[in-house]
Chains A and B, each alone.
Chain A
Amino acid sequence: MSILQILFFALSAFAIGSAIMVLISKNPIHSVLWLILVFFAISGHYILLNAQFLAIVNIIVYAGAIMVLFLFVIMLINIKKDSEPQKQFLVKLLGVLAGGSFLTLLVALIKQTAQIEGRQLLMKDGVIGLIHPLGKVLFTDYVIPFEISSVLFLSAMVGAVIIGKK
């Protein structure tokens, strides 16, 4: 086993274990902290794939901004432990069964797909994940969506302020 495979399996186990802990933590603050660990594991995967720009953006935007927003909201609304009644056991069991059968279905589907048989992906070679090629494409071919996304942010900001003021 090469070092890349060892890193891949370690990061995957880390990501899946933390994701399961997000579900089974009773306290929402613990869920947020586990989710931050999932995002760090996914950033590690981006670095393995030599997508350095996305790795940094993932840490800054998701772990740095979005999860801090979640933590602020949880602290603002002061959830008491007893104020979140748990779902019935049957409903939980059915939810886990539905998710598990969804996973089984898709895995069986992927196993049968002939198009991806034996396809390898490039790990550390290739420059498309670096800032220079990505910025070039972003500001030539995708400059219109890039500008529209600034309008989207403005409208989201106005919407959040209006909803929060009521």
Chain B
Amino acid sequence: MPIQYYIYLCLALFSIGVTGVLTRRNAIVVFMCIELMLNAVNLLLVAFSKMFHGLALASDTATTVGIEGQVFVFFIMVVAAAEVSVGLAIIVMMYRNTHSVDINFLNRLKN
């Protein structure tokens, strides 16, 4: 499978996420679009790791070249889980203060 297919797929998913952040006003949906962008990057990292592994496997059958990409994907998932817990807590607090999750009400940090 050519690497270009995966690059185009991930670019499409990432652009859909960018469009969602730009067009939606609900803070939760904006947050979900950020998750979508993270997942597009994860998929591309795995695809590149398999590409470099395929190159190295031709000369050495016991190599583990390219495994770093998958370890990075694991750490990205770890950070995303921590980010979601804090971000959703902030959204709940914002809803308690303003009774809305509209991001246009967030343009002032004070008062």
Contact = CB atoms under 8 A, between A and B. Distances in A.
Nearest to A137: B67
A164 B89 contact: yes
A69 B88 contact: yes
Contacts of B74: 53-54, 57, 134, 138
Interface string A126-155: 101100011001100010010001001101
Contacts, number: 232
A156 interface: yes
A126 B54 CA distance: 8
Given A23-B19, A149-B78, A156-B82, A35 B36 contact: yes
Contact of A128 (B19, B47, B67, B86): B67
Contacts of B106: none
Contact of A8 (B1, B3, B7): B1
Interface of B: 1-9, 11-13, 15-20, 22-26, 28-29, 31-33, 35-36, 39, 42-43, 46-51, 53-54, 57, 64, 66-68, 70-71, 73-75, 77-86, 88-93, 95, 100-102
Contacts of B73: 54
Contacts of A116: 3-4, 7
A98 B22 contact: yes
**Chain A contact residues (Cβ within 8 angstroms of B): what range?**
35 or more
A42 B38 CA distance: 12
Contact of A38 (B23, B39, B100): B39
